[in-house]
Structure 1
Amino acid sequence: MQAGECVWEKKDRRCVSMKNLQVRNSLILLLTALIWGVAFVAQSVGMDYVGPFTFNCVRFLIGGIVLLPCMALLKKLNPPEKRADGSGKEKKNLILGGVCCGVALCVASCLQQLGIMYTSVGKAGFITAFYIIIVPVIGLFFRKKCGITVWIGVLLALAGLYFLCITEDLTIGRGDVLVFLGALMFAVHIMVIDHFSPLADGVAMSCIQFFVSGGLCAVPMLLFEKPQIGQLLAAWQPILYAGVLSCGVAYTLQIIGQKGMNPTVASLILSLESVISVLAGMVILHQELSGREILGCILMFAAILLAQLPPLPRKTGKAGTQENG
């Protein structure tokens, strides 16, 4: 886009320069990362009152309810195009995508929630961020090639995980293992979203996934935890934060913020979630990391940055010409 061109926004009928739009969306994505980073604290504090399955069940149901008015608002601002055919297939993709995303999100979140019971908020945030490295690796099975920067990032991430999770006597904590398995499932969740998002409305699919996840979490909640109203009322602050802000608001902000943004830049901003989780754990919960764990965080963050960089240019046989690798 040339300098001086602008983007026309229907919302307020004003012309906004592309630069200003990107600055605004960058701030929106930064706010999203902030909400998600602090959410690790809410998840940790919430389990002082209720079990992990209860916490996830209630917060996902709240997140689904919060997205209902968001769906109505977005539909009003951007009315869907009327099409004579294909609506039945789109509805089928919407339901199937919502269910598949909901199952993956349920498994990933429950593993993460169980892991947070046995590890610190900061470590959980950085280990969870490992999904950014896992996604391009999984893509290899779908014939999506990775650049050299991704493989360097994988090696750095493995080294970071070693310092974060494995102690000097070569033992690994139960919580770290659970959070890592959760990161694997979050990578699967992203791949499922990647498949279905072009086929259906993203906000509607997210709303369905929250209700599906909440319903699935209700089964182990009733079998193993049997929550009481008093416990839920005692945990109302972390549950509402995780449900309203982390699920409902942050997801909507992500959709708005990523519009018109370079995906690499957007991912880099959102990856700050891991750093914020460490700072939030230190400030709010007074948790501290050892020098070994801080080194692991630094390596993990470097790996996350590398994984989001565009592939290095590759020279062709002709002098003076290049192509992306």
Structure 2
Amino acid sequence: MKERTAVMMLMLTAIVWGSGFVMTDIGLVYLSPYQLMAGRFILAAIILISIFSYKLKNINKKVLIKGAILGTILYTGFVLQTVGLQYTTPSKNAFLTAVNVLIVPLIAFVIYKRKFDRFEMIGAFAALIGIGLLSLESSFTMNIGDVLTLLCAVAFAFDIFYTNKFVQKEDAILLTVVQFIVAAILSVIFMLLFDHIPTSIEAGGIYSIVYLAIFSTIIAYLLQNIAFQYTTATKAAIILSMEALFGMIFSVLFLSELLTFRMVIGAFLILLAIIIAEVKPTFRKKQANLIGKLKN
């Protein structure tokens, strides 16, 4: 039951992140990437501290260290993704970021010697192909933006993997609070280094910051971090890859993006990947029961 709830929470996270593509696109009309990220993380950190102030007394050294690691990894991913987007196309940026769905099981294998799960790997490849059909528009050539985006995918993969690992022993909400405090501090530092503090922000920019902070940051990451307690990192990465699917849907609805047959096929493959990852436990249970009956 808890695993089913976790899947629903991750699906909601993917939906919210998909809508975030639209709000980010709107926000970048009024603010630079560094200003938008700073506004997003600062507001998210302030709200989280206000809501969960009663939990702060339970923060210990382990939570601070693990939350700081997650916050640093998360902001690194966002910076690499944003800077990479300046040198590549949005479609390639989205596709290369989604490569994290394959990197997560590799991290588990290299660092912790966790064997590859064939169902999860099949689902991961199906999701990656589907995202490629959704995102890629022209010939696939590499440039500095693509390299930075691949590094961003590595960062997001480590974020998924270590969040999944840390929430097994620490309070998921406290980890999220520390994570975004650290991300907010880093966002201010990078904004001051590479940009400037905006003297005024138009309404469209404010709406984008508020939406991204509350929905794409606070709600989405709380849902993700809590859900990670009840599922594997690879399975979570596959489900979260639906972000690309929902990003397409919201882009078609609100940004008038043209829906093509190839995009429909890509969406189908992503859904198939989720089904493969989700039915695996049921299939194994039935297989074990069948073997048991044959032995008897």
Instruction: Specify the TM-score bucket, using the shorter chain as the normaliser.
Output: 0.7 to 0.9
Whether contact under 8 Å (1:126, 1:297) holds in the other structure is no
Within 5 Å, which residues of 2 pair with 1:158-237? 159-160=129-130, 163=133, 169-172=139-142, 178-231=148-201, 234-237=204-207
Structure 1 CA distance, aligned partners of 2:194 and 2:3?
47
Displacement after TM superposition at 1:189 (Å) = 0.9
The one-letter code matched in structure 2 to 1:112 is Q
Question: For structure 1, which runs of at least 5 residues remain unmatched after alignment?
Answer: 1-17, 81-89
Root mean square deviation, CA, Å: 4.0
Give 3-state SS (helix, strand or coil) of 1:181's partner: helix
Which residue of structure 2 aligns with residue 108 of structure 1?
77
Question: For structure 2, which runs of at least 5 residues remain unmatched after alignment?
Answer: none
Within 5 Å, which residues of 2 pair with 1:220-259? 220-231=190-201, 234-254=204-224, 258=227
Which residue of structure 1 aligns with residue 15 of structure 2?
34
Which residue of structure 2 aligns with residue 44 of structure 1?
25
Displacement after TM superposition at 1:148 (Å) = 1.7
Structure 1 CA distance, aligned partners of 2:125 and 2:222?
33
After superposition, what is the alpha-carbon deviation per residue over 1:214-248, rounded to whole angstroms, capped at 9, x for unaligned?
21122231122213222466510111111122111
Give 3-state SS (helix, strand or coil) of 1:198's partner: coil
The one-letter code matched in structure 2 to 1:100 is I
Which residue of structure 2 aligns with residue 132 of structure 1?
101
Whether contact under 8 Å (2:98, 2:131) holds in the other structure is no
In the alignment of these two chains, the number of paired residues is: 287
Structure 2 CA distance, aligned partners of 1:144 and 1:243?
35
Which residue of structure 1 aligns with residue 61 of structure 2?
92
Whether contact under 8 Å (1:53, 1:221) holds in the other structure is yes
Whether contact under 8 Å (1:133, 1:153) holds in the other structure is no
Higher strand share: 1
Higher helix share: 2
After superposition, what is the alpha-carbon deviation per residue over 1:154-193, rounded to whole angstroms, capped at 9, x for unaligned?
5445545665666654435766654443222111112222
Structure 2 CA distance, aligned partners of 1:233 and 1:102?
28
Change in Cα spacing, 1:41 to 1:132, as seen in structure 2 (3 Å) is: same
The one-letter code matched in structure 2 to 1:61 is I
Structure 1 CA distance, aligned partners of 2:148 and 2:62?
31
Structure 2 CA distance, aligned partners of 1:183 and 1:112?
8
Is 1:150 the counterpart of 2:120? The answer is yes
Change in Cα spacing, 1:182 to 1:255, as seen in structure 2 (3 Å) is: closer
Change in Cα spacing, 1:153 to 1:250, as seen in structure 2 (3 Å) is: closer
Change in Cα spacing, 1:218 to 1:186, as seen in structure 2 (3 Å) is: same
After superposition, what is the alpha-carbon deviation per residue over 1:37-90, rounded to whole angstroms, capped at 9, x for unaligned?
1012112221112221221122111111121233247x59xx97xxxxxxxxx7
Change in Cα spacing, 1:192 to 1:147, as seen in structure 2 (3 Å) is: closer
The one-letter code matched in structure 1 to 2:36 is F
Structure 2 CA distance, aligned partners of 1:57 and 1:157?
31
Structure 2 CA distance, aligned partners of 1:255 and 1:170?
34
Structure 2 CA distance, aligned partners of 1:289 and 1:95?
45
- Answer with 1 or 2: which has the greater Rg: 1
Structure 2 CA distance, aligned partners of 1:165 and 1:270?
16
Whether contact under 8 Å (1:40, 1:125) holds in the other structure is no
- TM-score of the two chains, using structure 2 as the length reference: 0.76
Residues 209-218 or 246-255, more deviating: 246-255
Structure 1 CA distance, aligned partners of 2:137 and 2:257?
18
Change in Cα spacing, 1:144 to 1:263, as seen in structure 2 (3 Å) is: closer
Give 3-state SS (helix, strand or coil) of 1:214's partner: helix
The one-letter code matched in structure 1 to 2:33 is P
Which residue of structure 2 aligns with residue 55 of structure 1?
36
Change in Cα spacing, 1:309 to 1:232, as seen in structure 2 (3 Å) is: farther
Structure 2 CA distance, aligned partners of 1:48 and 1:293?
26
